[in-house]
């Protein structure tokens, strides 16, 4: 098992037994799902989005918007739920977003959002699970 600083630690074998192959590739190997293919791109029910790896609440539906980029987009995360990491892969300089509890890759954040935050958290649908808000 790799040493890490996250409270939730699992071996690759444990992650593979918990996640489907695409989710493992995205969450644990920092992959990306194809645009416009994810379950949550055009999903706008009221509730919260949780890390598929550990269940940590990451985003509220109140911060979700349609960016047209093909991935679920949020203008902010739940405070303290996301870790930010410099990513210079693929010849670009970006900011990777990871679950602060288990280190699972969520996607990237950009400063081109349309709301007052100016942020666009571009998240892979396979990185999150949705829980509807109960009235």
| 23 φψ region: left (φ > 0), alpha (ψ -120 to 50), beta (else) | alpha
Q: Domain total for the chain?
A: 1
- CATH code (residue 98): 2.170.150.20
Model confidence at 134, in pLDDT bands (50, 70, 90)? low
Alpha-carbon torsion, ordered 98, 75, 89, 50, to 10 deg: 30
Residue 108 covered by a domain:
yes
Q: Which domain holds residue 127?
A: 12-34+41-132
The pLDDT tens digits of the residues spanning 82-121 come to: 999 998 887 888 999 999 999 999 999 999 999 999 999 9
Residue 5 covered by a domain:
no
- pLDDT of 2 reads 47
**Is 122 in the active site?**
yes
Residue 2 covered by a domain:
no
Distances (CA, A) of 131 to 11, 46, 55, 80, 118: 26, 9, 10, 19, 26
Q: Model-level pTM greater than 0.85?
A: yes
Give the angle subtended at the CA of 19 by the CAs of 72 and 66, to the nearest 5°: 5
């Amino acid at each position: 098992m790799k040493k890490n600083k996250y409270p939730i630690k699992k071996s690759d074998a444990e992650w593979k037994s918990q996640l489907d192959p695409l989710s493992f590739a995205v969450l644990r190997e920092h992959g990306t799902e194809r645009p416009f293919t994810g379950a949550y791109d055009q999903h706008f029910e009221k509730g919260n989005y949780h890390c598929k790896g550990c269940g940590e609440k990451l985003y509220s539906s109140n911060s979700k918007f349609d960016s047209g980029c093909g991935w679920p987009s949020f203008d902010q995360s739940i405070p303290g739920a996301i870790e930010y990491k410099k990513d210079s892969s693929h010849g670009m300089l970006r900011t990777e977003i990871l679950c602060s509890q288990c280190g699972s890759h969520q996607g990237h954040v950009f400063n081109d959002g349309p709301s007052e935050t100016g942020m666009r958290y571009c998240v892979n649908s396979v990185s999150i699970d949705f829980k509807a808000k109960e009235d």
